[in-house]
Structure formats: C-alpha cells, structure tokens
Amino acid sequence: MADRPETPLRYISKRPPRRLTRRRALQGALAASGLALVGCSSGIGPIGQSSADDALLAWPAEDRWPEQFHKASARVQESYRFAVANQNLLQWMPCFCGCGEWGHTSNASCYVQEMRDDGSVLLDPMSYG
C-alpha cells in the first residue's frame, strides 16, 4: 500500500454534508417572516404617484439607492436589498401588520411599489420605519 500524504485534521470535516430538511426549510420560512415583520413595522401610510416617488427610486443593478435608503440602518438596507432581489418569494408571504388597507398584498408590497421596465425599482417607504 502506498503511503498517502497525511491531511491535517483541521481540513477534515466531521459533520456530514447538509441536506435540506423540513426543519431547515421551516427555519428559512421563519427567517423570511421575520424580515417581513421588520418591513411592516412602520406606521407610514402610502404615498401618491407624484414627483416625490422619484425620491424613492432605486437602480439596484447599478447599486444606486435613494438618500432615505442610505440613512436607514444596515438591517433595513439589507431587508430592502433582499426584497428587491427575492420579490418572487416574498409575493407568496402574506403580511399580518394591517398594511392591506394601504393596498399591500404581500410582504413584497411592503418594500417594492413597482418594478419598472428600465431596471429601476420604486421602493415603498413603509419599511424605513
């Protein structure tokens, strides 16, 4: 038998590879729900379609965000980035904070008012808190 080079123990993982289990799927869903609660924690109502909307216009592909975004905490910024990137996921998660009276239909609505054809995103101010 040929001698194999000895691998240092720090490179050998003793844990088996992770699989997607019901428990991990539930943890992911709960984490997304927590994100939704952060998004709906504000008492700010809806805004009208006006030039004020331009102050909430973001260009995520170019990493250009409105001034209000940069004034928000890192956690709120992360929530907006997640919501813009994962709108397909959040659209299936209902919001329970009562924002339905403002026209919100899901957690995605708490962050994004409109995805535009030119790549810009009109953010919803509700989640800035």
pLDDT tens by residue, 38-89: 555 444 444 444 455 678 899 999 999 999 999 999 999 998 999 999 988 9
Q: What is residue 14's predicted lDDT score, i.e. its pLDDT?
A: 61
Q: What is residue 30's predicted lDDT score, i.e. its pLDDT?
A: 63
Please, which pLDDT band fits residue 125 given cuts at 50, 70 and 90? confident
The whole-angstrom distance between residue 68's C-alpha and the CA centroid of its chain comes to 17
Q: What is the pTM of this model?
A: 0.58
Q: Which residue has better confidence, 64 or 27?
A: 64
Q: What is residue 42's predicted lDDT score, i.e. its pLDDT?
A: 47
Domain coordinates in residue numbering, the chain: 53-129
> Across residues 98-104, what is the average pLDDT?
73
Class of residue 69 by CB neighbours under 10 A (exposed 0-12, middle 13-18, buried 19+): middle
